[in-house]
Chains A and B, each alone.
Chain A
């Protein structure tokens, strides 16, 4: 049966699902389920209390509705909040103990899970539904004092760090989806880079939603201590299913004095079929705090998947001279919708931010760039540069730019540039005359349009992303 499913898969390369019995919490959102999650993870009391506090808060919070893409009401009582492959009840200690079916899944996804692929220079923390499957390269990293593990493991082994930083960037009370995540988060990655250490490899998490009717609520926490550097990659895929699946992650980044975090995402969740049926609701809260002076946080995202993408990776520039960057490519095709952008909150003096956003819409899709640049009265001598470009393909899609700009002191500068263009028939004809078929031509033109952002990605990711950009727009010409 599963084989057939794989056969059927024409458009979405990652749409297979793995037949592994899973171990689930009962459906529904209530204190018992939260206790169940906390208990199964053997969490300390303070964390359970923290979750329950979030749940209390959630009861009074309303689901936001100001976004452009609308979606049918989600029944939060009809979801599973915890799902783990059954064989993981006793967690494997090494790769050899892993269920071969799981390894197969990751192979299909093209993730370098075994250590032989170390040449890739990527350490992977793979999240399969709610449990972190295997963390590779741990040894190499441990030698330098770098902690890279699942957040569940960090809770057990490094509770002082988790307790100190969890929820300091995205508070418990933040907003509906973030608070929901705080109450029920299952797993995710944890990274700590000690003072003065430059992480020698790209760290990577590969998320995958497998079980149906499962909301995935990961929680990622990355701390770069004084003078350290880390580059982190996140990739996502999900199987094809008719129903919509909710993905509400929280990602918190903290950069102390002189530290730098580079966070790159390639998001390729199942976008739904051509008629807009199924697909992931990607409602994610990502926020970075440049806590120390001279710190820097840089977000790069390539968003090609999901039925609805709704996220604003943000930077709070608290330390003096800190820098925030946001580089984004968002592509919507068929009936996909995206409302994405960033927030740059300037609090410290001499803070700088840069926003480069490239939106491409095709088919019947709809794309909104929404961004906030807020320079506080104390953030003197700060500046922001924003460039927002939209590319339209065909005449049934939409592109919107909604910048919110607040400059509260007179010696700071904000610059905003925006363009909207279409791929012209003449450009296509020119490329075709040179031997490219229409899809290759569009791929080339679009990659040119996105170049400034693609350049920000680590090399191997950039090549993948470039291909993904082409694949996402297939069938959008002619």
Chain B
């Protein structure tokens, strides 16, 4: 599904990722763990299409050259990024934003758009599953939301858009244990044969609830070690410094 070959990225001439390689097949859950400044967020930024990076190498998503696609086209093809810091958009109702987003994607795919009633039914159902306060859906997008609510809102959007590849950029940071469990349930509910996940995190904690198929350790812009779920536990014990 996703193939990253020799990806290098620089920003203002500072090298962040070097010869990064990763392959994710349909249905797989990959976790990338790494200390601050290891290049984790750069990876999610580049995959989502954020501008400002000098990039070399190749990224293929379902055999499409990712770099030839605009950010929104990547979203249309099924890439979703749960932001580390979800943005506030004053004046824009959360429901309206969600509906606009879902219908923009459906339209691009030539699918039938949802009308207001169909959409409300869907969003209510998903909000209930994720224990997301329905009242918040009527409020301005992320304005006045707590850190945890913002993260849950990302997962709500993910479950509504039902993407093929979901990238979770430190979604667990700043979450209390209940919110963490809810987020994990949201991810697990979406986990199907064809949906893949790339979970970027500092800590092993989230991985107790979302069991990854693969764990990769990212240091200084490179994957230095890959393994199964047990690698996360090993990391937790030894720390990043002593993993190699």
Which A residues contact B (CB, under 8 angstroms)? 424-427, 429-438, 440, 444-445, 447-452
Q: A367 to chain B: closest CB distance in Å?
A: 19
Q: A433-B48, A433-B75 are in contact. Are A440 and B89 (CB under 8 A)?
A: no
Kindly count the residue-residue contacts between A and B in the assembled complex, taking CB atoms under 8 Å apart: 76
Additional 16 contacts, C-beta under 8 A, given A445-B91, A449-B90: A430-B86, A431-B89, A432-B72, A433-B48, A433-B72, A434-B75, A434-B157, A434-B161, A435-B72, A436-B101, A436-B104, A437-B104, A438-B72, A444-B89, A447-B92, A448-B89
Chain A residues positioned under 8 Å from B48 (CB to CB): 429, 433
Chain A residues positioned under 8 Å from B96 (CB to CB): 444
Measured CA separation A294–B63 after assembly (Å): 69
Evaluate contact between B140 and A448: CB separation under 8 angstroms.
yes
Measured CA separation A440–B107 after assembly (Å): 13
Partner of B89, one of A433, A438, A445: A445
Closest 6 CB pairs of A and B: A448-B91, A448-B92, A432-B71, A434-B101, A435-B105, A435-B104
Q: B94 to chain A: closest CB distance in Å?
A: 11
Q: A248 to chain B: closest CB distance in Å?
A: 34
Q: A360 to chain B: closest CB distance in Å?
A: 12
Evaluate contact between B104 and A433: CB separation under 8 angstroms.
no
Evaluate contact between A432 and B92: CB separation under 8 angstroms.
no
Measured CA separation A445–B96 after assembly (Å): 11
Task: Using CB atoms, name the residue of chain B closest to A430.
Answer: B87
Partner of B49, one of A433, A436, A450: A433
Q: A440-B100, A444-B97, A448-B140 are in contact. Are A433 and B81 (CB under 8 A)?
A: yes
Q: Which of A427, A432, A434, A438 has the most CB of B within 10 A?
A: A434
Evaluate contact between B72 and A437: CB separation under 8 angstroms.
yes
Partner of A434, one of B51, B91, B104: B104
Which B residues contact A (CB, under 8 angstroms)? 48-51, 70-72, 74-76, 80-81, 83, 86-87, 89-92, 96-97, 100-102, 104-105, 108, 140, 157, 161
Chain B residues positioned under 8 Å from A435 (CB to CB): 72, 75-76, 101-102, 104-105, 108, 161
Chain B residues positioned under 8 Å from A434 (CB to CB): 75, 97, 101, 104-105, 157, 161
Chain A residues positioned under 8 Å from B89 (CB to CB): 427, 430-431, 444-445, 448
Q: A445-B92, A447-B92 are in contact. Are A430 and B104 (CB under 8 A)?
A: no
Q: B30 to chain A: closest CB distance in Å?
A: 20
Task: Using CB atoms, name the residue of chain A closest to B105.
Answer: A435
Evaluate contact between B91 and A449: CB separation under 8 angstroms.
yes
Evaluate contact between A450 and B100: CB separation under 8 angstroms.
no
Measured CA separation A427–B89 after assembly (Å): 7
Measured CA separation A444–B101 after assembly (Å): 10
Evaluate contact between B83 and A430: CB separation under 8 angstroms.
yes
Q: B99 to chain A: closest CB distance in Å?
A: 11
Q: B23 to chain A: closest CB distance in Å?
A: 23
Evaluate contact between A450 and B50: CB separation under 8 angstroms.
no
Measured CA separation A429–B74 after assembly (Å): 12
Q: B169 to chain A: closest CB distance in Å?
A: 11
Q: Which of A433, A445, A447 has the most CB of B within 10 A?
A: A433
A-B contact pairs, 27 of them (CB 8 A): A425-B51, A426-B87, A429-B50, A430-B83, A430-B87, A430-B89, A431-B101, A432-B49, A432-B72, A433-B72, A434-B75, A434-B105, A434-B161, A435-B76, A435-B102, A436-B100, A437-B104, A438-B72, A440-B104, A444-B92, A444-B96, A444-B97, A447-B91, A447-B92, A449-B90, A451-B91, A452-B91
